[in-house]
């Protein structure tokens, strides 16, 4: 197994569809500017309520990527 060094960034993804969609949105956006994405960790989950219903989900992620 090769030895690697990783860096992490913290992002918040959001979606009206749910937490899975919020995670996907954050990762898809990060992939546009960061190479070698390897893993993610959900750090926090929260949401926004409007009229007694959940309007938006927000998920704070740590995303790890391998340094070249």
The tens-digit pLDDT sequence of the chain (68 residues) is 578 899 999 999 999 999 999 999 999 999 999 999 999 999 999 999 999 999 999 999 999 999 98
Residue 28 domain boundaries: 6-66
Residue 1's pLDDT is 55
- Asked whether residue 28 is assigned to any structural domain, the reply reads yes
30 phi and psi angles, rounded to 5 deg: -60, -35
Residue 29's pLDDT is 97
Alpha carbon separation from 37 to 29, 30, 65 (Å, rounded) = 11, 8, 4
Number of domains forming the structure of the chain:
1
Residue 38's pLDDT is 95
The answer to whether 34 and 65 are in contact (CB under 8 A) is yes
4 phi and psi angles, rounded to 5 deg: -130, 160
CATH number of the domain that residue 13 is part of: 3.30.1660.10
Backbone dihedral region of 26: left (phi > 0), alpha (psi from -120 to 50 degrees) or beta? Answer: alpha
Please give the Cα distance from 48 to 35 (Å, whole number).
Answer: 31
- Asked whether residue 1 is assigned to any structural domain, the reply reads no
């Amino acid at each position: 197994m090769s030895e690697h060094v990783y860096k992490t960034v913290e992002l918040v993804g959001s979606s009206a569809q749910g937490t899975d969609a919020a995670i996907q949105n954050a990762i898809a956006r990060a992939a546009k500017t960061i190479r070698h994405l390897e893993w993610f960790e959900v750090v926090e989950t929260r949401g926004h309520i409007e009229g007694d219903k959940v309007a938006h989900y927000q998920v704070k992620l740590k995303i790890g990527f391998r340094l070249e």
